[in-house]
Chain A
Amino acid sequence: MMTINDKLKIQAYVDGELDKAEAKKVEALIATDAEARNVYEELKTTATLLKENEPEVKLSVPRELYWQQIYSKIQQAESKPVSVFEYISGIIQLAFSRKYLVPVTAAIAIFAGVLTVKEIVKPTEDYLVVIENVADDIGSYSFRASSEKMFVVWIYNKETESPKPVNNEPDDLMFEGGVSYQ
């Protein structure tokens, strides 16, 4: 009757972990003992089955999004100033689960539009902009307060939400939630 230590020794032989002298002893045991031979065959078969059939796993996230997240974190770690675009897209990625890739991608496109408008207009006053969106079901507003160094972007589902300013007075312009960058 083999002990657990005998079996572990056979396993070490299968895995190539024994020195020559010990390996020879195990070989002799396998050659003469049916139970030892059985253990050897079983261990070898399992090891081979696993080595040759590692399950394949693939990332479903697009290459660009995966890289963008890494690059943002690298920049943050290096304490370099992160661009508004990367910062906002990072917030969106955190706010949304990965299963909402399509809306997130649409949102990123909106931000790009917002930033483009911002660059073109270069305002010095506070202002509100409604961005034309490529997605049918997602709308957005942005609000910039130069005096407060604040830039707010609001994204909403056109079918279920219609964000209205709580107060139309410019100084109190607020929405009931949203994504902001300061």
Chain B
Amino acid sequence: MELDKKYSEAKDEALVKAAQKGDVKAFEELVARHRDKVYGRAFSMLRNEDEAYDISQEAWIKAWQRIKQFHGDSNFTTWITRITINLTLDYLRKQKRYKVESIEEQVEESGGVERQMDLEQVAPIDELERKEIRERIDKALQQLSYEHRTVLVLHEFEGLEYKEIAKRMKCSIGTVMSRLFYARKKLANLLKSLKREWKK
């Protein structure tokens, strides 16, 4: 009991150091703390529960195998999430779910370059509204192509720069920029009813 308390109260940094010395219990605590985040990131890109589950487990196994290579340059959550992203991208590539899109195809999918996004400034919202907004964003993300969804997840949720995204998705920065633009446009069209409900 005391031992469990020691782990549950420890900071991530202390748990990482212990895990680097081979302490499996410390690693187990890290898994317990961050498993939702890891699974959630894989799911946000794959939109498949079973695949996301398997990728999340693979990410934790890789993390254990490479834990000694983690030097604390970023926080642990960022590190394990990056492992998850790389595994997910590799998986998508192996599954050949990424396709090469022409600008014309992207334009068509997003509803046209000239169509204006039907969104305005969002007013302050309470938790219930936020939950509903998240659900609607979730549904909208589900309707995007793998390419568009991935670029949005990496940019908006992970905060990666264009060149980082290009490196991970193995494409040019120009491709990242156009995918991001059309992904936002399509998403905005899918969420346009939010304007009526939450605009100032």
A contact set with B: CB distance below 8 Å? 4, 7-8, 11-12, 15, 17, 38, 42-43, 45-51, 53-59, 61, 63, 66-67, 69-71, 73-74, 77, 98
Contact = CB atoms under 8 A, between A and B. Distances in A.
A139 B135 CA distance: 42
B152 interface: yes
20 contacts: A4-B178, A7-B181, A8-B181, A11-B177, A11-B180, A11-B181, A43-B181, A45-B119, A46-B184, A49-B133, A51-B156, A51-B157, A53-B134, A55-B141, A57-B40, A58-B36, A59-B53, A69-B57, A70-B31, A77-B61
A56 B135 CA distance: 9
B137 A50 contact: yes
Given A15-B155, A49-B137, A70 B120 contact: no
A94 B41 CA distance: 24
Nearest to A12: B177
Main DSSP-derived SS at the A contact region: helix
A38 B116 contact: yes
Contacts of B161: 17
B122 interface: yes
B174 to A, nearest CB: 8
Contacts, number: 110
B24 A50 contact: no
A167 B130 CA distance: 64
A55 B31 contact: no
A45 B28 contact: no
Interface in B126-169: 130, 133-135, 137-138, 141, 152, 155-157, 161-162
A154 to B, nearest CB: 27
Given A50-B137, A98-B53, A71 B24 contact: yes
Contacts of B61: 70, 73-74, 77
Given A54-B157, A70-B60, A71-B28, 6 more contacts: A45-B188, A57-B44, A59-B35, A66-B31, A67-B31, A73-B57
Contacts of B184: 11, 43, 46-47
Contact of B122 (A17, A43, A49): A49
